[in-house]
């Protein structure tokens, strides 16, 4: 069920261009969110933690499982 009463607003993140190519859009997005919270990581770090696939990128389950590691490291 979708709760239509939840208000959202975008995070004020700095623009960032994915630089590494194939399958790095997820890691690039993670980098922007982590930067917002003051956690400095490269695209390669979350890509490695999340088991990036060059063709498929990363999946949500891997992000959820590994993001805590990336933030605490």
Decide if 38 is inside a domain. yes
Decide if 51 is inside a domain. yes
For 27-60, the pLDDT digits (tens) are: 888 888 888 888 888 888 888 888 888 888 888 8
Decide if 66 is inside a domain. yes
Decide if 12 is inside a domain. no
Full-model pTM? 0.61
The answer to whether residues 45 and 26 touch, using CB atoms and an 8 Å cutoff, is: no
Task: Enter the DSSP assignment of 43.
Answer: S
Dihedral of the CA atoms 16, 19, 21, 26 (nearest 10)?
A: -40
Q: How many domains does the chain have?
A: 1
Decide if 47 is inside a domain. yes
Q: Residue 62: which domain range?
A: 25-72
Residues 69, 73: Cα–Cα separation, whole Å: 6
Element (H, E) at 36: helix 25-36
Decide if 19 is inside a domain. no
Beta bridge partners of 53: 57
What percent of the chain has a predicted confidence (pLDDT) above 90? 0
């Amino acid at each position: 069920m979708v709760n239509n009463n939840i208000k959202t607003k975008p995070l004020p993140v700095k623009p960032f261009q994915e630089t590494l190519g194939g399958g790095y859009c997820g890691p690039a997005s993670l980098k922007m969110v982590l930067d917002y919270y003051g956690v400095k990581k490269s695209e390669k770090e979350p890509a490695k933690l999340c088991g990036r696939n060059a063709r498929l990128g990363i999946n949500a389950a891997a992000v959820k499982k590994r993001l805590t590691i990336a933030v605490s490291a």
